[in-house]
A = this chain, B = another copy of it.
Amino acid sequence: MEFNDSRSIYLQIVDYITTGILCNRYREGERIPSVREMAMDIEVNPNTVTRSYAELQERNIIQNQRGIGYFVSEGAYRRIRDDRVRELLENEVPRLVQTLHLLNLGLDEVIEVMKTRYQETPQ
């Protein structure tokens, strides 16, 4: 896995897992890879993965069963999706619109680009 330098690795792992839940790579009630497995997979220090899992556990997205592993919580999908939708509508879209004004860009041009990309993108 490739990491972006500008964000901390443990947060990128958090995103990787929540995104995995959104696209059904990990399903509610199922086990996710152990800290060690994950660390090997993505070539990262196990401490870092531990931190990500702690963060996810705190947000009630995964749960630890001692001695067995981490499992995706019930309702995790819904919570993640709601969070992201809120983030999108309350922060990202407003920021985008403000940028358009600043750059003297018309809304229509950008919408056109979005439409094109929206259809192109397979996944």
Contact = CB atoms under 8 A, between A and B. Distances in A.
Given A102-B19, A121-B98, A121-B101, A93 B107 contact: no
Contacts of A19: 102
A103 B66 CA distance: 32
| Majority secondary structure, A binding face | helix
A37 interface: no
Contacts of A81: 103
A78 to B, nearest CB: 12
A63 B99 CA distance: 26
Contact of A103 (B9, B84, B103, B115): B84
Q: How large is the interface on A (under 10, 10 to 19, 20 to 34, 35 or more residues)?
A: 35 or more
A107 to B, nearest CB: 5
A114 B102 contact: no
Nearest to A22: B102
A39 B119 CA distance: 48
Nearest to A66: B9
A92 B97 CA distance: 12
